Amino acid sequence: MKYPNTHLARFIDRPNRFISHCRLATTGEVVVAHVKNTGRTTILQPGVTVALVENHNPARKTRYDLVAAKKYDLEWINIDSQAPNKLVKTGLESNDIQLPDIKRITSVTPEVTYLDSRLDFSGMAAGNRPFFLEVKGVTLANQGIAAFPDAPTTRGLKHVQTLERAIDDGYLAYLLFVIQMEKIKVVTIDRAIFEPLALEIGRAQKKGVHVVAYDCDVQPGELTLNQPVPFDLNQRFVSDGLPSSIGRRGDLADN
């Protein structure tokens, strides 16, 4: 996927989870940008290079969206929380995403209600095998290891439990992590942030829920699904120790 009207800027601060202040590289103007990720990302540190997408819609409160940041000014990380589902929809429809036990996907439906949950996708595989798939974007990483989540997520926990119930009802079920960066060796669950999710995923895997991960090629104005990355629930993750960029009143809702 491509972002039109992309501008480079320097991140200044993030007074709350929706808004950031950035200085445009071309003019030096300080602008207000909507942050397209409400999580506790540590990427947005003062002075970091960021990518802003300009929008000319007069009805918007902000003229720019912050979609990517260059961690340590070395590697781009996409932080657009809406991007993973767009990439996955295209990947499923084109059969570029390879799912265990599925040779070919014949139909894909986004945003479906199953039991008491709303899942990202349902679909049909060749041989009339129905499946459900939930997508989680990953922006947390350190030393080549990516981790999810960046904040406690009872909603994510419920999604995993719903996939387990889908297995009981005869569906194929998948949890797909889209790592919004490249050069990642393995992805895991950050137990220090939310241990219950790791425990539930362990139970889900034993029941037959498949956990799949892909990384991405990230540029300031473009995001492309790249290649599979191993998921290892037992991989230890150590945070980079950077503080969250959100101001003191930027308390987070559950993801």
- Which domains, and CATH codes, for the chain? 6-77 (2.40.50.580), 83-228 (3.40.1350.60)
Helix (H) or strand (E) holding 89: helix 83-93
Torsions phi, psi for 168 (to 5 deg): -60, -30
Q: Residue 226 corresponds to which tokens in the numbers above?
A: 């790249």
Instruction: Tell me what pLDDT residue 175 has.
Output: 98
Helix (H) or strand (E) holding 205: helix 191-207
Q: How far, CA to CA in Å, does 90 sit from each of 41, 49, 222? A: 26, 29, 15
The answer to whether 108 touches 93, Cβ cutoff 8 Å, is yes
Low-confidence residues of the chain, pLDDT below 70?
A: 40, 244-255
Query: What percentage of the chain has pLDDT greater than the value 70?
Result: 95
Euclidean distance between CA atoms 197 and 161, whole angstroms: 10
Instruction: Tell me what pLDDT residue 249 has.
Output: 37
pTM: 0.93
